[in-house]
Copies of this chain bind each other. A is one copy, B any other.
Amino acid sequence: MTGEDETFLRRAIALSRERMAAGDGGPFGAVVVRDGRVLAEGANAVTTANDPTAHAEITAIRRACQAVGSFSLAGATIYTSCEPCPMCLGAIYWARLARIVYANDRADAAAIGFDDAFLYREIPLPPARRAIPTERMLAGEARAVFAAWAAKPDRIPY
């Protein structure tokens, strides 16, 4: 743990406490940092924004991308007051973040009523064995669109 890591993770924890106390949502905060500079901060706002995706990490990632004008945060670190849930972990991969530093973990989250540990058990299951009924249909029709993407000369990979 470097002094910089401690400073930025403490900031994420402070955000989790401040925004929870202000009534924004659950007790979660996150900070995205690159080259020693804060690109963006975020806190949970699920219940006030009426947005189930408004977790601290997603909010910080979206703001950081707006700040740098790119869908990639390559080389950046995310400091988060709690281990990312699978949704946020997926977002961290898609954003090409280089490193994750966290404090509370999924068991701590489960102990205060959040579904993180449940989601970590559900997501690796085959779709047919998950709690949410899931069906596949019209595969041939959809695959034709993927073929069109593969053949699109001006596509932007991400």
Interface residues in chain A, defined as those with a beta carbon under 8 Å from any beta carbon in chain B: 1, 5-6, 9-10, 13, 16-17, 20-21, 23, 25-27, 46-47, 49-53, 58, 61-62, 65-66, 69-73, 81-83, 85-105, 108-109, 111-113, 115, 119-120, 122-124, 127, 132-139, 141-143, 145-146, 148-150, 152, 154, 156-158
Contacts and interface: CB of A to CB of B under 8 A. Distances in A.
A42 to B, nearest CB: 12
B132 A92 contact: yes
Nearest to A44: B158
Given A94-B52, A104-B142, A148-B27, A123 B122 contact: no
Contacts of A83: 127, 136
Contacts of A108: 139, 142-143, 146
Number of copies of this chain in the oligomer?
2
A102 B136 contact: yes
A25 B9 CA distance: 33
By CB atoms of chain B within 10 A, which of A20, A23, A61, A94 has the most? Answer: A94
By CB atoms of chain B within 10 A, which of A10, A65, A90 has the most? Answer: A90
